[in-house]
């Protein structure tokens, strides 16, 4: 079995990666990172951020003894579909997603991708938020 994590080049995506490595280490299982691209040619800035994040991921995973498989997918339908399809394919133990902070009104409505993943996932979902700026680590 495996831990599957959805990745975007954002603070939420980086927190998702870190939490997924921790979860995979705790479960003594592999980690599959799903990168869904909305276009076939992402900007150089996005590619550079992804390369930096993946280098950090490899270092953290190596230290935790976790093997990783990074899958860059051209977005077939949407991010939720991609993540759910990979989770079903690898028979995932858990999906990890990063959530962004929302205003009090925004909390009434969860992001559509996050909501779909939570409702349609074939396995449990661990939703994480990045730490607030200046929060104790």
* CATH class of segment(s) 2-128: alpha beta
Asked whether residue 57 carries a pLDDT value surpassing 80, the answer given is: yes
- Beta-bridged to residue 107, according to DSSP, are none
**Which tens digits make up the pLDDT trace of 74-99?**
755 678 888 999 999 999 999 999 88
Q: What is the DSSP letter of 134?
A: T
> Are 126 and 94 a contacting pair, CB within 8 Å?
yes
Sorting pLDDT into bands at 50, 70 and 90, what band is 40? Answer: low
Instruction: Please tell me the distance from the alpha carbon of residue 16 to that of residue 33, in angstroms, as a whole number.
Output: 10
């Amino acid at each position: 079995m495996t831990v599957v994590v959805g990745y975007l080049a954002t603070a939420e995506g980086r927190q998702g990666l870190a939490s997924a490595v921790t979860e995979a280490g705790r479960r003594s299982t592999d980690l599959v990172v799903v990168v869904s691209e909305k276009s076939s040619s992402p900007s150089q800035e996005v590619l550079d951020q992804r390369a930096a994040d993946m280098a950090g991921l490899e270092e953290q995973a190596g230290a935790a003894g976790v093997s990783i498989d990074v899958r860059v997918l051209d977005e077939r339908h949407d991010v939720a579909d991609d993540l759910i399809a990979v989770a079903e394919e690898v028979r995932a133990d858990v999906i990890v997603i990063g959530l962004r902070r929302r205003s009090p009104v925004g909390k009434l409505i969860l992001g559509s991708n996050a909501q779909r993943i939570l409702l349609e996932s074939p396995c449990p979902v661990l939703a994480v938020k990045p730490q607030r700026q200046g929060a104790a680590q």
